Structures are given as structure tokens and as C-alpha cells.
Structure 1
């Protein structure tokens, strides 16, 4: 039979970057009572955003504005930058896909950290790029010095860094990120994933007007704004770089409802501040739960806490599986040495009580490392 797809497509594994909680429920025959694995915000969107999306839903017979004019203007005004420095897309995942399509051809090199956000790697593989990996530092931070050295040696098309980081929750200070941007080879685009920027300490984020032709900064409404299901995010960069997204993006990819919700969410900064404060308090609660049960919580600048289980990946996987079967959805990093951890998204007090009960029972079932 004549192959229907390209050699590249046929060479790709039949896999997805993430297995969703819905798939796990179907597979395991259970219903999760706490959803703490996907770094969603249990606090939800601003009520004003919900109201705006509900109103827009009645006009869903219309396409959303393909130029996203009002939203780009609002994002630009919020950050104090020119609207030409903003592109909007279907979540950071969608924007990363467009960037890889723009920058990478088959065989082109891309550098990232081993164990960093896997969807970026998924896009690179899908366009035939060649991934090159740098290990995390011993303190579970992405190794900016090693990444820069690798970039100088290989001159890759893209260098991916997340700050704050997923899956560890760690962060670098603004000066270190700015130095990386300035020292990177000019032909290498720094893909700076700032999905968790709204939770980060102020000294972790370079000034938003740090602009270079080869620097792109990705922000989202999925995390602190509580709109993960709406699929909307944006990227900031110099106008001549940002304009390239218009060549490949799905111009009707961001729905009318998502645009309305993002506009309203952006305008309600008081709700955002309340959410961030709630997340910070909940992070502390999760850290105390980990410590009460002999796990080591990593410092976090995100809406999740990574917990070192004290053993290897097999030990952490056993704990993860035991927690899942007790109806609490969490995740863990998939690559050593980060796979010694479980990762728990912050929730409300009831969610945390369910998690603590499941964790205590899981630890009793699994036993200590090496048991």
C-alpha cells in the first residue's frame, strides 16, 4: 500500500506529550475527587471574565477578530509596550508550534534542558528538528551556563528556557536571564517560556522592554488568570520578529469567547492579585504536607510544588500510582534525575486534605525507598 503520510510523519512515535486526567479516569475506571496534576488554577477565572465569556457565547456564530486587535492593544497597554510587539495564539503550546514551524527545518538543531516542558520537544520532532539536551543543575535549576555554552558550540535555531521552571518550580533571577539573552548567538532565538510569570518574585523577571531580535517571551492566560480551558496566550518580542507569526498562524484559531474572556481578565487585576496571594498561601500548605510525610518540597515560584520522594524514579512512580488510584490526580517529571519527585498543583483546603490522606496511604503501601 502506498504510504499516505510523509517519511517524517511515519517516523514519529504514536504518542502524546501528556496523558490527561480524563484518559486516566477511563483507563482506571475511577473518578478523580481532586484535580491537582495539570497546573490549572482551581480558583478559576475572574467573575468578570466568566460574565464576558458567557455574553460572547451567544455570539459564537461569529468568528473572532482574526487580527485580535482589541486584545493586542490591551496587552500592550498593560505592559507598556507597542502593540506591534505582541502576537496572540491558542495557548503557549500553539505559539511554540508556530515558532518551530517558522524557525526549524528538518535536521536543524534545537537546544533545551533534559526533562523540561515536553510539548516544545513534541513540536520540534514534528517539524524534523534535532533536539540536543543539557542536564539540569544539581539544585534542580535549568543550567543557564551550560545551555549558553551549548548554544555557542552548536549555534542552534532555538534555545528553550522556562523561568519559572516547569516541572521543578525553580527560578533564575532577572539578571541571569538578561545575561543569557545578551550573550546568545544572534542566529539563535531564545524561547523564554514565562507561563508562570504572574507567580514569580519580582526579581525573577527581566524588564518587559528587554527586546532583542532573537528573544521571544511567552505569557499565558492559562495559569494565574485561570483560563486554561479557553486556550489563549501571547508572545512578546521585537515587531520585526513578531510579524513572522502572521505568516503561519491560524488566523481564526482564537475564539470570540476566548478573546472576550482574556480582555475582561486582563482588566481585572484586583482578582489576579487575590489569586496569586491564594496560590502563595496554598504552596505553603502543600510544602507543610510534604514535610509532615517525610518528603522534601522544592522552593517554588509557580502554582505547584515539586516534592522529592527521597528515592529513584521507580519509587516516585509507585507513590504516584498509589495516589492516583485513591482518586487524586497528580503528576511527576518523566526524566531522571527529576523523576525522583512528584508534582502537585495547589488547590483549595478540601483538595489538600484529600491529597494528604491519599499520600499518607500511598506511602504506607509503597514503603521507604528500596523497600
Structure 2
């Protein structure tokens, strides 16, 4: 082994380099944990050494995307060597026609998660106040922390995110952003859109409402906020991940005032949307019949999940989403025991992570075979959880 110019042989040289390496992370980056907001089912499958029999935890649309969307994405594969259109021209114009607005009021991005990251980057710096609900969608919190914002949280009220509490807290802390999902994740509850618009009279001046409407296509008529698209008080987030069944394609979009929408061009990844995803979303948007079919399947599945809960002496929350929260009747420890037992039986499910909502487990809508598996597994899971409770384990 020959020494290098410093007279160090290879093993010693590697140690020397390691000792000299000091990554110059920002103080903010150094302060953050290296974490993932969600533990995916794939991770759990690797840990348990077996695939899940039913995937009922990620709020995916198990009924799948439009066959037209699949066909469009397959055709686009031949051109995948090309970057996607950085302006998302065709999809933005189609969405504009769908909503009866200008394409200048729409930005397309890598799912709502990606758009939330860009939005927070535009508004939030170290120390800036942001308001959300305790236990609400954690990816928003992840982005806020990543840019040094300070999160202020308010509790749910009757298992609903509460606009009045959110807006009052925003006024108290001079928040730049306030996050509200309607319908809500993880509880599936919702407000009439008109009630949210009325509550916005209390939204403090200079605070932007981030209204996440990811599940609005699953919800009753009147859930979407009836507000002009150029209202500067809010930005609305939509997605192709839920009712349109394209979670893996990562296609989301935001509706807002043109000046706000154009600001995304300052920070977004202009080649973040791949060609196949753009083509698939465009075809999915045009297939109204498939969307109607999926909405019917979701409604049927919600009824079946509620029936299964009732047959086991549990209550379910009325849902406007493609999942149902089931109240396990005790506390978060008991609900976690039920969840663990279901996972052990090969069913991937999740639960809210903040009390008192963590007394529930959350079951995604799925086809008959998946819900039959859930119906078969739930009694045993409850027995296991009750046994642990009795023994204090």
C-alpha cells in the first residue's frame, strides 16, 4: 500500500478525511430531526417481512384511476425521454375551463404536499407565526419547521377543525398563514363551504388562509368554498390523488389570486411534473363518468365501514372523504393496540396521532374483498386490545 502525498496509507487517509469533513449545514438544518412525516406501508412490509393483505391506511383510491388516464400515461411513456412541459400549459388550461376561471389563477405542482412546500417557502421565514389544528395534516407542519416558522395549534371542536378558533389564534399571534382542511384529514369531518367563507370575516388582515380541499370531490354538494378565485385572503389546494385515483403520479394544483399564483414561479421546480403525470391528469379530468363511478364506490364503502364498526359495538364518524374514522371507545393506547393487532393480521391501517382524536382508527374506503378482510380481522383485534387493557400490558 503506497502512502499519499501526506505520507498516509489508505485506511489512515480515510480516517483523516472523515475527521476533517464538516458539512456546513445552516443552524436551522442542524436543529431539525431527520424524519419522515409518514411511515409508509412499504416500510412496514419490509419490517414485518410480508406484504399486507389489504392496504386501508393511506387514503389512496383503491378503485383506481380512469382507464382513459391509464391509457394516456401508457402512451406518454414513449416520450418519457423528454422533460414535461414546465408551464403545465394543457393541464392548467383544462383546469381553468373546468372551474370557469383563468389559467392565471392556477398553479400545478407535485401533489398538494409539493405545493405546500412552495407556499411556505414564499411566506415563512425564521420566527414567523403559522396556525394549524392540533393533530391536523402533519406534512404542512413539516414544511413550516423546515423554513423556521413557529407553529401555533388549536384543538379540534367536536372532532372538527374549528375556523373560529383558528382565526382567533391567527389574530393573537399575527400569523402569516393559517391551515384548514375541509373536509378534514384525519377525521373525515367537514363544514359547509359557505360557513367557512362567513367565518373568514374574522381572518386577520395580512393572514392567508390555506384551504386544503383534497377530498372535496368525495364530499357533499356545498362543501367547496363559494368564493371568488381572486379573493386575496385564501388559496385553495386540490389534488388528483384522491377521487381521481392518481396518488402515485403526484399531481396537485392550487387556485388563487393571479399575483399569488405567479409568485410560485419564483420557487417551484419547473420540471417537477413529468409528462406521463400531466397526460394522465388531463385524461382523468375529462372522464366525468369514471369520477361519478368512483364517488359511488366511495359512498358504498363508507356505509360498509360504518356497518362493520356498528357490528362490533363501535361508532364511526360521518365522513366526507374516502376514509372513515372509527371511535374505538377508549383512549389512544387502546386504539393503538387495535391498530397493531390489525397490522399483525395483515391489514395496513392508520390512526390520528393527537388526543382525543387518537381514540380512533382510520379505515380507507376499498373494494369488497378488502372490507371483508377488515370485517374478519376487527373482532380479533378488539379482543387482543381488550386483553392488553385488562392485563395492563
2: CA distance, partners of 1:124 / 1:260? 31
Aligned residues: 370
**CA offset at residue 210 of structure 1?**
4.8
Asked if 1:60 corresponds to 2:60, the answer is no
Provide the C-alpha distance between the structure 2 equivalents of 1:98 and 1:355, rounded to a whole number of angstroms: 38
Gaps of 5+ in 2: 1-20
Cα offset for 1:152? 1.5
Deviations, residues 173-214 of structure 1 (Å, cap 9, x unaligned): 122211233431231110000000001111222226353213
Q: Distance in 1 between matches of 2:332 and 2:387?
A: 13
Structure 2 residue corresponding to 1:161, chosen from 177, 180, 196? 180
> Which one has the largest radius of gyration?
2
State the distance in 1 between where 2:354 and 2:293 align: 34
1:268 aligns with 2:287: yes
d(CA) in 2 for partners of 1:345, 1:306: 9
1:99 aligns to 2:119 (yes or no): yes
- Which residue in the other structure is 1:211 paired with? 230
Residues in 2 aligned to 1:319 and 1:22: alpha-carbon distance in whole angstroms:
20
Question: 1:358: Cα distance to partner?
Answer: 1.5
Per-residue deviation, residues 38-76 of structure 1 (Å, max 9, x unmatched): 000011100000000000011000101000111000000
CA distance 1:17–1:325, change in 2 (3 Å): same
TM-score (norm 1): 0.98
| Greater CA drift, 250-259 or 1-10 | 1-10
Render the CA deviation track for 1:129-186: whole Å, top value 9, x for unaligned. 000000001x100111111111121220100000000000000112221123343123
Q: Deviations over 1:74-132 (max 9, x none)?
A: 00000101110000000000000000000000110000000000000000000110000
Give the match for residue 34 of structure 1.
Answer: 54
Which SS does the other structure have where 2:236 is aligned?
strand
Which stretches in structure 1 are left out of the alignment for 5+ residues?
Answer: none
Distance in 1, matches of 2:23 and 2:84, equals 37
Bigger shift: residues 7-16 or 76-85: 7-16
> For the aligned residues, what is the CA RMSD?
1.2
Cross-structure match for 1:81: 101
**1:286 partnered with 2:305:** yes
- 8 Å contact from structure 2 (residues 101, 229) kept in 1: no
User: TM-score scaled to structure 2, two decimals?
Assistant: 0.92
**C-alpha contact (below 8 Å) 2:229/2:257 kept by paired residues:** no
**Alignment pair present for 1:237 and 2:244:** no
Q: d(CA) in 2 for partners of 1:182 and 1:90? A: 31
Residue 314 in structure 1 maps to residue 314 in structure 2: no
* Structure 2 CA distance for aligned equivalents of residues 182 and 241 of structure 1: 20
Query: What does 1:190-205 correspond to in 2, within 5 Å?
Result: 190-205=209-224
Residue aligning to 1:13:
33
Q: Is the 1:311–1:369 contact (alpha carbons within 8 Å) kept by the matching residues of 2?
A: no
Cα pair 1:79 1:208 within 8 Å, conserved:
no
SS of 2:79's equivalent in the other structure is: coil
State how far apart, in whole Å, the 2-side matches of 1:203 and 1:66 are. 34
